[in-house]
Amino acid sequence: MSPALRIKWCILRTSIAERLAYRADFAFATLIRFLPIVTQVFLWGAIYQATGPRDARVINAYTYGDMVAYSLLVMVGRAFSSMPGLTTGIARDIRDGTIKKFLIQPIDMLDYLFWHRVAHKLVYYVIAFVPFALVFWLCGSYFKGWPGAWTISGWAISLVLAFLIGFLIESLMGLAAFWFLEVSSLVFVYMLISYFLSGHMLPLDWLPAPINAWIQLLPFKYLAFVPAAVLLEKYDPQQLVLELGLGFCWVFVLYLLNRLALTRGLRRYSAYGG
Q: Which helix (H) or strand (E) holds 58?
A: strand 58-59
Structure confidence at residue 34 (pLDDT): 64
pLDDT value, residue 170: 94
User: What's the pLDDT at 27?
Assistant: 63
- Would you state the pLDDT for residue 51? 64
Cβ count near 111 (within 10 Å): 14
- Who's near 167: CB < 8 A, 6+ residues apart? 83, 86, 113, 114, 117
Residues 154/227, Cβ–Cβ less than 8 Å: no
Residue 1 is predicted with a pLDDT of 63
How far, in Å, CA of 118 to CA of 271, rounded? 28
- The whole-model pTM stands at 0.87
Predicted local distance difference test score (pLDDT) of residue 220 = 94
DSSP state of 13: H
Reading the chain (274 residues) residue by residue, the pLDDT tens digits are 677 777 777 777 777 777 666 666 656 666 666 667 777 777 777 777 776 665 567 777 788 888 888 988 998 898 899 888 889 889 888 888 888 888 777 788 899 899 888 888 888 787 777 777 777 787 777 787 778 888 899 999 999 999 999 999 999 999 998 888 778 888 888 888 998 899 888 888 888 878 888 888 999 999 999 999 999 888 988 999 999 999 999 999 999 999 999 999 888 777 655 4
Q: How far apart are alpha carbons 62 and 53 in whole angstroms? A: 14
Q: Which of 267, 273, 226 is nearest to 81 (CA)?
A: 226
**Inter-residue contact 176 to 261 (CB < 8 Å):** yes
